[in-house]
Amino acid sequence: MPDGVIVKALSGYYYVKPLENGKAVGSAEAVQCRARGIFKKRGTSPLVGDHVVYSLTENGEGMVDEIKPRRSELIRPPVANAELAVLLFSVREPDLNLSLLDKFLVHIEHSGLETIICLTKQDLLAADTDAQDPVMAVKELYERIGYEVLVTSSRSGLGSSELKERLTGVISVFSGQSGVGKSSLLNRLVPGLSLETSAISMRLGRGKHTTRHVELIELDNGGFVADTPGFSQLDFLELGVEELSTCFREFAPYAELCKFRGCSHTHEPGCKVIEAKESGDIASSRYEHYVQFYTEMKEKKRRY
């Protein structure tokens, strides 16, 4: 029976792209499949990104017979076998929101994926030299922490080739705040794709949702990109409050030196994370967002 990768799930159907030797067959059309009832009995279901074994049925469709072991599994968006998260945040329209960026980074750190921060719409700063320095400062801040940061423009093509090279041969997840230009960037990476884009609501400062379901978009370098619905809100329901500090990677070398085991890094005497923040070794914005998220999680825990 042939192998394939699920590139779209919609209305109970799974669209499976044939694979040969683990690579997508470029010219082959995706096969519309149903999943065997055994998956439901086991309490599982196929996900976009799953490598599967499928069989062809008489009506030209197919049946998903087996789901191969997953390397990773995201709950939101529901994608299997992703290795890389590309977090897209615009420098203008909407303005760069570092609190939301840090919230996304917490979720990605918790999921164990590699991360690229992609700052989009650089062309909107082209004539505004005063705005360039803060963007470069943000780039330097996150690179110092250890993140890869690309500055891009879908209009000019800035950064597109570097990004596409990083997507070679892996399933990557594109996500970020609504209206930051995910679809525009994907259209630039995959000529002829023509994903629907939307104008920004200037009153709300955010875009209308144009992506309705998770779908893998095939690149010509063996990679797949999961174009996912935009988010303007994230919560921490799947993350324990005691895990939060481990999702701020720059805290690690200091947290292990704290005076108290289980230090929350919010008020304890002898907290090396607080000392590092005060000495400038941990950025104030990152620490403030940590405290903000910690407080938010504690309040939700009490509520539930």
User: Is 258 labelled a binding residue?
Assistant: yes
User: Is 132 labelled a binding residue?
Assistant: no
User: Is 33 labelled a binding residue?
Assistant: no
User: Is 180 labelled a binding residue?
Assistant: yes
C-alpha closest to that of 230 among 267, 194, 197:
197
User: Is 184 labelled a binding residue?
Assistant: yes
User: Is 72 labelled a binding residue?
Assistant: no
Q: What are the φ/ψ torsions at residue 66 (nearest 5 degrees)?
A: -150, 140
C-alpha closest to that of 141 among 84, 173, 102:
102
User: Is 118 labelled a binding residue?
Assistant: no
Alpha-helix runs per DSSP H in 84-128: 98-111
Q: Is 212 left (phi over 0), alpha (psi -120 to 50) or beta?
A: alpha
Q: Using an 8 Å Cβ cutoff, are 109 and 249 in contact?
A: yes
Q: What is the dihedral of CA 200, 202, 203, 204, to 10 degrees?
A: 40
User: Is 160 labelled a binding residue?
Assistant: no
User: Is 181 labelled a binding residue?
Assistant: yes
User: Is 8 labelled a binding residue?
Assistant: no
User: Is 123 labelled a binding residue?
Assistant: yes
User: Is 233 labelled a binding residue?
Assistant: no
* Residue at 269: amino acid letter: P
d(CA 144, CA 232): 26
Angle at 254 between CA 252 and CA 260, to 5 degrees: 105
The three-state (H, E, C) secondary structure of 158-204, written as one string: CCHHHHHHHCCCCEEEEEEECCCCHHHHHHHHCCCCCCCCCCEECCC
User: Is 121 labelled a binding residue?
Assistant: yes
User: Is 122 labelled a binding residue?
Assistant: yes
User: Is 179 labelled a binding residue?
Assistant: yes
Contacts of 188 (CB under 8 A, 6+ apart): 154, 157, 160
Q: Annotated binding residues for Zn(2+), as ranges?
A: 258, 263, 265, 271
Q: Annotated binding residues, as ranges?
A: 120-123, 176-184, 258, 263, 265, 271
Q: Annotated binding residues for GTP, as ranges?
A: 120-123, 176-184
